[in-house]
Amino acid sequence: MDVFADALLVLARWDVLIALLVGSIGGVAIGAIPGVGPAVAIAILLPATFSLDPIVGLTVLLGIYGSSMYGGSIPAILINTPGTAVNALTTYDGFPMTLRGEGRRALSLAYSASFFGGIFSVVCLILLAPLLAKVAPMFGSREIFLAALLGILLVVVAHKGQMLIAGALSGFGILLGTVGLEPVKYTRRFTFDQSWLAGGIDLIVVVLGLFALSQAFLLLTMDDEKIRITKSRGSLFQGFRELARHPRVAAISASFGVLMGMIPGVGEFTAQFMSYTSARKLSKTPEAFGHGSSEGLIASETANNAVPGAAMIPLLALGIPGEALTAMMLSVFYVHNVVPGPGLFAFQMDFIVALYLALLILNVLVVVFLLISTGWLVYLTKIPNRFLGVCILLLSFVGVYSIRNSGVDCAIAAVFGLIGYVLKRLNLPIVPIVLGMVLGGIMEVKLRAAMNRVKTPIDFIDRPIAFLLFCIIVVICVSTLWRVWREWTPVDRRKPGKKASARFAKRLAGRHTRHFDDRLKIQRRTRRYDHLGS
């Protein structure tokens, strides 16, 4: 009870309350504007949070991270344009409901499903993070190195069809993290006798360039669209009653969101697709999916809002981020000398409890705000793209310069902005670069520490957790190579004999049709917004 009381005192401060309001309301507004997204907003705000207390800065960033998905459902449902990349699947059932004149019902259902997913993930964070933190003292240098390596591997494997380029970009991120003074003997690496490279390439500069500046360049080169908002009928409060009639869909979808959020590199869209597929299989009316099904809308919105809280579990317990946004939040911890892991739970439990309560309050504030102000937020979708691009460009350069008052940092950010712009235009992933920089530094330090105690390669995995992580890495590598081989090897070489080959080809074609037909439809609907997912 003393810890709970201390946490309440932390939350009762005026700056924390302002952070709660700014994070919740600002995140909704950002999510409702197509083309911006939480990554851009967090990248711009990140330098400003370094001067704030950790709980204040993290509350703002987490509020934007989670509430942007609430706001992203508004344009997805009303104008068939996903506000954020993870709301792409929401258009599949939300917009058909709007065409039937049930836009308010769809929005209400999306808000209630998002609220359930958000609260469910926070509860899982409260229950699972302390358990993982108790196991964390068993993680030595070898185990943390293998866990970081597993994170890089999962990020690469998660980009199906782009694994080679994702691996190359991860390696590029690791290379960027080695520029400057190395962490043991402080010798210069890859500086080429240039003094401005001695301090290394700052992670925040790279993040602002890859996410914010690249998006600004993209918006400046896009044409504005004439958006027509369809009038709808219904009550914004009826969604909670309708959600209660589908508890199984909501529970399964939230579970998928939590599971996918805990796995590095997987993300919200994978959780959405898996929950949507399972909901359709379990539904009594699967033919309604894609034509305005309430179950489909619940599945997609519950899953994507269950991810943010779950993504904090490995970050708080082990200090290992699973995606770009949690990697940005990790920098807030390090700036204030707050080290995530078992020590955080042992010595700063009031901070952890305050963070839990802040997440719960944020979800409540977002739902209340949306139920009151949806009619006004709709007009944010009409902001011209070029105006948004100029605003993001100015704010990004101000944020970069404020880090170290360096014009060189602005030039580096501009270069990475162009790199990010090219990657987005080519529909190539950006996240592997950021995670490569973060996890690469962890891997280097821990590998050097571990090698002092290792005599043979077997010694590296002679402890239970290290051996388990090594086995998982081997299984993922082997299964991925096997799947790639199966996809690229001709059918007649895998199944000898004409009849067997024909039978196998028919079964293979049927399987691919069943599993990828929905993805093809979604890609056709959202092809013009693919750049948002980068």
Q: What is the pLDDT of residues 179-217, one digit of tens each?
A: 888 776 778 888 887 777 777 888 778 877 887 788 788
Query: Which domain covers residue 470, as residue numbers?
Result: 2-533
Determine the pLDDT at residue 24. 86
Residue closest to 311 by CA, chosen among 69, 13, 7: 69
Residue closest to 3 by CA, chosen among 307, 355, 318: 355
Cβ pair 329, 39 in contact under 8 A: no
- Compute the chain's Rg from CA coordinates: 23
Lowest-confidence region among 139-148, 312-321, 522-531: 522-531
Write the CB contacts of 379 (distance below 8 Å, at least 6 apart in sequence): none
Cβ pair 170, 432 in contact under 8 A: yes
Q: Which two tokens stand for residue 311?
A: 């993504």
**Residue found under tokens 């490279």:** 197
Report the C-alpha gap between 177 and 190 in whole angstroms: 10
Residue 530: band (very low, low, confident or very high) from pLDDT cuts 50, 70, 90: very low
Mean pLDDT (the chain) is 77
- What residue ranges in 43-197 does DSSP mark as E strands? 180-181, 188-189
Determine the pLDDT at residue 35. 62
Total of domains in the chain = 1
Report the C-alpha gap between 105 and 463 in whole angstroms: 55
Q: Which two tokens stand for residue 15?
A: 């700056």
Say if residue 289's pLDDT is above 70: yes
Write the CB contacts of 441 (distance below 8 Å, at least 6 apart in sequence): 177, 183
- Pairing outcome for strands 180-181 and 188-189: antiparallel
Report the C-alpha gap between 185 and 182 in whole angstroms: 7
58-89 pLDDT, tens digit each? 888 888 887 888 887 887 787 766 677 667 67
Mean pLDDT value across residues 46-67: 82
Say if residue 118's pLDDT is above 70: yes
Lowest-confidence region among 240-244, 346-350, 374-378: 374-378
Mean pLDDT value across residues 102-109: 82
Q: Which two tokens stand for residue 95?
A: 């917009």
Mean pLDDT value across residues 78-105: 75
Mean pLDDT value across residues 398-410: 80
- What residue ranges in 460-510 does DSSP mark as E strands? none
Report the C-alpha gap between 420 and 211 in whole angstroms: 7
Report the C-alpha gap between 396 and 45 in whole angstroms: 9
Residue 485: band (very low, low, confident or very high) from pLDDT cuts 50, 70, 90: confident
Number of residues assigned to the chain: 534
Residue 380: band (very low, low, confident or very high) from pLDDT cuts 50, 70, 90: low
Mean pLDDT value across residues 226-250: 70
Q: Is 42 left (phi over 0), alpha (psi -120 to 50) or beta?
A: alpha
Write the CB contacts of 194 (distance below 8 Å, at least 6 apart in sequence): none
Residue 415: band (very low, low, confident or very high) from pLDDT cuts 50, 70, 90: very high
Report the C-alpha gap between 252 and 52 in whole angstroms: 38
Upper half-sphere CA count for residue 116 (Cβ side, 13 Å):
27
Helices (H), 136-198: 141-158, 163-177
Say if residue 417's pLDDT is above 60: yes
